[in-house]
Structure formats: structure tokens, C-alpha cells
Amino acid sequence: MKNQGLGDWIARRRIKSAGDTALIWPGGTYTYDEFADRVARLTRVLADRGLAKRDRLVYLGNNHPDFLTTFFACGALGAIFVPLNTRLAPRELEYMIEDSGAVFLVTHDSVRALARAAAWSSGIRKRLVVDGEADLPAVESLDEAIASTEPATLDAEVSLEDPAMILYTSGTTGRPKGAVLTHGNLTWNVLNAIVDYDVTRDEVAMMMSPMFHVAALSMGALPTLLKGGAVVLHERFDGGDVLRAVEEHGVTSLSGVPTTFQFLSEHPAWESTDLSSIRKLTCGGSAMPLRVIEAYEARGLAFSSGYGMTEASPGATSLPVSKARDHVGTSGLAHFFTDVRIVGPEGDVLPPGEAGEIQISGPNVIREYWRRPEATAEARDGDWLRTGDVGRLDDEGYLTVTDRLKDMIISGGENVYPAEIEQLVMEMPEVRSVAVIGVPDDRWGEVPLAIVALHEGAQVTPDDVIGHVRGRVAKYKLPRAAILVDDLPRTASGKVRKVELRERFPDLPGIDVAR
């Protein structure tokens, strides 16, 4: 059986677009011919070192050509690609590496120390480092390994039902779950993006958001490469560098979260940068501030928006620019190959206008969490994914998201789950109870705030609380401040009334924590 998965995409695209530009990054460019050759060589490197079908490979690094090279090489072998967030703390990464059962690690030299701290005691057998030199017997230079290897001519049996990626997403329990995205999930999501966002062969799409988040990879890079366009890779967000690259490369498509778009519009070079090549701006993650919308409208640009989550690979709905004015405040219509419904507390499908849980179905929706059958069962309602979000559909099918059943905080486009922080604070013997909520922040959209009740007579300061958490989670998860209270408001069943806490503490300046 021929490889039916994503691992064959670049080899097929090479036939049609050999001399066209595939990737652009600060270090140079790759044509599709060069990119396909690199994928084939890395495929052989990984196979020669024992990576086989369904083995897990962890990639720890920011946006770089070899992120995509490794992704497609894994696909060619039928191995499972596990990208990890470089902003996480070592203990967080260590759990994900162990849970995935990864046997191979590819890391960028810039985060080599983080990789060592997270994976030193794991079951990983082989390590390759990008843009770096070998320094231990178990660590090889990826560039040197590729240069000394002939391209692979492998024909692995990979179907659309086979797993392509595991993406870790935190949950209300605070324990990360690995969402298993198949080759079919990703392929159908890419088709949704191409259809609903009009991706074209002359696309020049910039990835200014990290591809270890599925939105940048699956809504941006993969649709562009499937169509034969060029992907511009931006490793670490810098507003000035992004604006220079837009002008230099004639970027046509730019996607991100409200925070990144805000930073661009506030940069000193904003007014002088030629933005005339941009045809599409897509934004997700949270609501866009009005002042940011107006800043882009003043430059003749408007946003497409949408709703989704990792478990939907990630797209569920999209609102194109042409419909934005008539349907302001909505997240658009269900993607072409995806369905959305609203369900009441008794499991009944609700009519237009009534609010209930948003559920998603389609070939882009995952079937399972990695080795978590209980979590999988909780997330499923037959063929439908239970999102935990509240919304309503209007008569035309446009979705409005009204609330989150989960208490997730979205800070600078990153998801922060309060339970994870609360568990750490509760390790302190002086703490009787704690609740973490999101409070508005001009820069990040929301930031975490810890509200803590102590045992009688306990001597703990807010700085002590933050210090207990610091270094054990990613910086963006660290509470901006801690507030000490006598007690937390609770329901009759004992649950903390977070709605009441948000009303009591709507907007506190807190302590400015470095991100």
C-alpha cells in the first residue's frame, strides 16, 4: 500500500513545484526540490537509527525548517510526531515525554539545556540536535547526519487512520492529555482551511506563531505547502522582524493571536511598513480588542476569525472578512467538512438562539486521547466532541461563543488551566484553599490571579505563593499576583464560585511577572 498520509506530501509536491520556493527563514530558503531531498534524507537517518512505525519522536524547538522536515519524515515512516512547547518548565515537559513513551528526541540547539533537563532520565534512546554540534555519544548533529546519508526510497504503509501527531493539552484536572491527531484528521482540517480561507498556490504565509501549537501548523503551514505556496518561518516573535519580513517577502497571509497583532500595530515601524501584499489576516484564541481592529482597518486590512481547539485539528468554524460586518461578534459558520451543534444539559439538541454546550463532529475531530480511555469517553457524545464551551447558533448557522464551561484562561494566545496552578499552590501546608482566575491585561488579554485562603495562624505572603509556583510551570502560567482572603465563596455543594471572585477582583494591577 502506498503511503496515504502526510509523509508523502512533499515528494508529491516536488513533482509539480520543484523549483518553486517552499520555505523561507532567516538562514535562507529551500525550494520544493531541496525540501523534498532534506525530508528524504532525514527519513533515512531516522530509519537507520531504529525509528519505526508508531514509535514516538519528540521535537523540542521553535519555528525552523527542520520542525517541518522532522514532521514529514515521521509521516513517511508512520512514526508519531510529538511537538512540545518550548515555554514549558522541565517538569511539565518531562511528564509529556514519559507519558508519550518517546524513544527519539530532536531538539534545537537554542533549547538544548531545556531538553536535557526534561529528558535526561527518560526512555529516549537517540537524540539529534538542530543547528548544533554533537557533544555526547547519544547526541548527533542533525545537519551532519543528513549530509552523510543518502535519501530514503521507503514506501511505508501509512493510512489516513494512522496517528500522525500527539499534541498535549491541559485539562480541568491539571494533568495534560495527549490528543491523537491522525493523518486523516490533519488532511481534512487542511482541506477545510483551503476551502474556507481561499489558500492559493501563490500564497506567502508567515508563521509568526509557534508551530508546536496546531493552529499555526495545521491552519497555516500545511495548507500552504499542500497548495505549493511559500511558508515564511519566524522563530521568535519580534514585531520589527515580522514587519520587515512582510515587506521583504511580500507576505500574503498572516495569522496569530490578538496579542501578536496588537504588538505589530504598536511597533514604531507600523506606519512606514508596506503592507500592500497582505490579502488575509486570520486571528483566533480570544476576542480582538476594538483598538487593534481599528488600527488594521486604518491600513485597509480586516480580520477573518474562527473557533476551534486542538481536538478538532483545530478548526471548527470560520468567519470570512466578507461576512464579518454582517455577523460581528460571531465565530462564523462550521467549516466545510465539519458540523457544529448546540446541546442542552439533558443531551437534547437545542434550536437556534438557545445557549448550550458546543459540540463538534467531522473527520478532523480526534477519536482518542493517548492512553486515556476515561478522558476519551468523557469527551465523546457518540460521534460528537464535547468542547466544554457554551454558545448558540443563529438561524443561519453562525456560532456565538458565550462562555467557557472550563475555567481556562487565555493569556497571550496560550491556554492556562487554573487547576494546574491550584494543585501546586495547595502543596503549601499553610494554604487551606485556592482559586485561580483570569483578570484582564492590556498586553496579554488575560493573566492568572491566585486568590488564597490560609489556615488559621499561617504566616505566608503573596510573594511566598508566587515563589512556590515560579520555575515549576511556564512563565505565562505564573500568577501575576496573589491575594490573601479569609475564605473563598462556595456553592451549596462546596464548589468555589469563580464568577463571584471575578466580580470581586475584576482588574488588579498585581506584580509584573516577566514572560
What is the chain's Cα-based Rg? 23
Give CA–CA dist 201/277, Å, rounded. Answer: 15
Cβ contacts of 281 within 8 Å, gap of 6 or more: 253, 254, 255, 261, 296, 301, 302, 303, 304
- Could you check whether the bond before residue 314 is cis, i.e. omega within 30 degrees of 0? yes
Give CA–CA dist 69/213, Å, rounded. Answer: 17
Taking only the tens of pLDDT, the chain with its 515 residues reads 588 999 999 999 999 999 999 999 999 999 999 999 999 999 999 999 999 999 999 999 999 999 999 999 999 999 999 999 999 999 999 999 999 999 999 999 999 999 999 987 778 988 999 988 887 667 899 999 999 999 977 778 999 999 999 999 865 556 789 999 999 999 999 999 999 999 999 999 999 999 999 999 999 999 999 999 999 999 989 999 999 999 999 999 999 888 889 889 999 999 999 999 999 999 877 667 777 888 999 999 999 989 999 999 999 999 988 888 788 778 999 999 999 999 998 899 999 999 899 999 999 999 999 999 999 999 999 999 999 998 999 999 999 888 776 678 889 988 888 878 888 898 899 998 899 999 998 889 899 999 999 989 999 999 999 999 999 999 999 999 999 999 998 865 567 888 889 889 987 655 444 44
Q: What is the DSSP string of 442-499?
A: TTTEEEEEEEEEEPTT----HHHHHHHHTTTS-GGGS-SEEEEES---B-TTS-B-HH
What is the crossing angle of helices 258-265 and 290-297, to 10°?
50
Q: Are 275 and 229 in contact (CB under 8 A)?
A: no
Nearest CA to 511 among 472, 470, 471, 474? 470
Cα-based distances in Å from 243 to 27, 122, 263, 295: 17, 41, 11, 15
Q: Are 359 and 340 in contact (CB under 8 A)?
A: yes
Q: Are 146 and 130 in contact (CB under 8 A)?
A: no
Beta sheet of 431-441, edge-to-edge order? 431-441, 445-454, 481-485
How confident is the model at residue 513, as a pLDDT? 45
How confident is the model at residue 123, as a pLDDT? 81
How confident is the model at residue 284, as a pLDDT? 79
What is the crossing angle of helices 418-425 and 462-469, to 10°?
110
Residue ranges of domains in the chain, CATH in brackets: 1-159 (3.40.50.12780), 409-504 (3.30.300.30)
How confident is the model at residue 171, as a pLDDT? 55
Q: Count of CB atoms within 10 A of residue 503's CB?
A: 10
Strands 21-25 and 380-381: unpaired
Give CA–CA dist 263/195, Å, rounded. Answer: 29
